[in-house]
Amino acid sequence: MKKYRVGVVGIGAVGAEMIRVLRQRDFPCEEIRVLARKERDEVVDGETFHVVPATPEAFQGLNFAFFAGTEGAKGASQQLGWQAVEKGVIVIDNGDDFRMDSRVPLVIPEVNAPALAKHMGFISNPNCSTIIALMALAPLYRVARIRRFIASTYQAVSGTGRNAILELEQQVKNYVAGKPLEHMAYPHQIAFNVIPKIGGLKSDAGGHTSEEVKMRNETRKIFEDKKIRVCATCVRVPVINGHSEALNIEFDRPMDPAEARDIFSRAPGVVVFDAIERDEYPMPINVSGQDNVFVGRIRADESVKNGLSLFVCGDNIRKGAATNAVQIAEKLIEKG
């Protein structure tokens, strides 16, 4: 089997998970080269990696470069991505710098793998909340066109990175100890609270945040459907890992829960977890560390014609970032 030289840019929560996923999925690596701002050694699951500074020269000889988008590496693809492509490297970027660039396919392998045929050496991962939503929506969309959906998200602090995880843990400890709860990662305390703002306020988006706009724009690009209407409210919750989303969907024809369950049962990467009478429904604790997206609470939405409601959970660091990126590389290798 041919082996590949792989670079990982950034060694925060997503970068470390990319290395973990590469190993767990037996990706045919001849080398894993870790690039970041500072030279040092980092240990992932007992394996030591010597981190080299991220410069254009550091990409020499690589076949793939995964840009993790964490630990100061967010925006690194803007500085180094196309320079890596010029050196013959296929760039798979978890950041948002080029997601809406017409040159760059935006890909979820289970959803729109054919878009990879148009790549110019640079491919983007969608946003984690978009990936988790579309893993559930795409199988339905193939059968009955979705006119509109409303997404209410419950997003874990791991989406912000290591510092946010540590901040939540410290706030819980301080609360128990009766100490003040300080915050830096977020504008407010996150422990025992929810924050209905993720990303910056978009001046041209009628009060929507950048995270909410991403869900709309990325969905339209991936589905190649400019008419689909999307309204997202993205909320940060005091959960360590695993994003959850309540989806209310309007189709162009009736879609009953039994048909939806049948469609999901045959959809790759989707697990139906839907027996409310036995208290079985998707929760972040179910999906953390998993690559599948769990779908449950499948029921009619009577507030709209041809409506359906779902509750969806996925690991935002794995399928929402690291695993999706590695799957893109696997798909490229498969296609030759």
What are the residue numbers of the active site?
128, 243
**Token code pair at residue 232:** 């997202």
Residue 58 CA: distances (Å) to CA of 14, 219, 260: 20, 34, 48
Residue 15 CA: distances (Å) to CA of 193, 196, 236: 28, 27, 22
Q: 200: which DSSP letter?
A: P
3-class state of residue 99 by DSSP: coil
Identify the sign of the CA torsion 25, 130, 125, 67.
negative
Are the CB atoms for 65 and 92 separated by under 8 Å? yes
Are the CB atoms for 67 and 77 separated by under 8 Å? yes
Are the CB atoms for 89 and 62 separated by under 8 Å? yes
Residue 197 CA: distances (Å) to CA of 164, 239, 255: 15, 15, 32
